[in-house]
Structure 1
Amino acid sequence: MVNKPRSPVSLALLVIFLCAGVSGAMAQRASATPVPAVLVRATAEVAPVNLPRPTLPPPTIVLAPARLSALPSAGEVNARALPDVESELLGTIVSGTAYPALRNYFRWYEFRYDLSPSGTAWVYGDLVELEGDLSQIQVIDDFSAIASGNADDSSLVEDRTIELATAPANSAESGAVLASTPLPTFTPPSVTQSPGGSQLRIVASDAPSAPTVPPILPILALGGLGILGLLISLLRA
Structure 2
Amino acid sequence: MARLNGKVAIITGAAGGQGAAAARRFVAEGARVLLADVADETGAAVAAELGAAARYRHLDVGTAADWAAAVRVAEQEFGPVSVLVNNAGILHLAPIAETDPADYERVLRTNQLGTFLGMRAVLSSMPGGGSIVNVSSVEGLAGMPGTIAYSASKFAIRGMTKVAALELGARGIRVNSVHPGVIDTDMVRAAAGTALHGFAKSRLALGRLGRAEEIAELVLFLASDESSYCTGAEFVADGGATAAHSLAP
The answer, yes or no, to whether TM exceeds 0.5 is no
TM-score (structure 1 length as normaliser): 0.18
Q: Give 1 or 2: higher helix fraction.
A: 2
TM-score, length-scaled by structure 2? 0.18
Give 1 or 2 for the bigger CA radius of gyration. 1
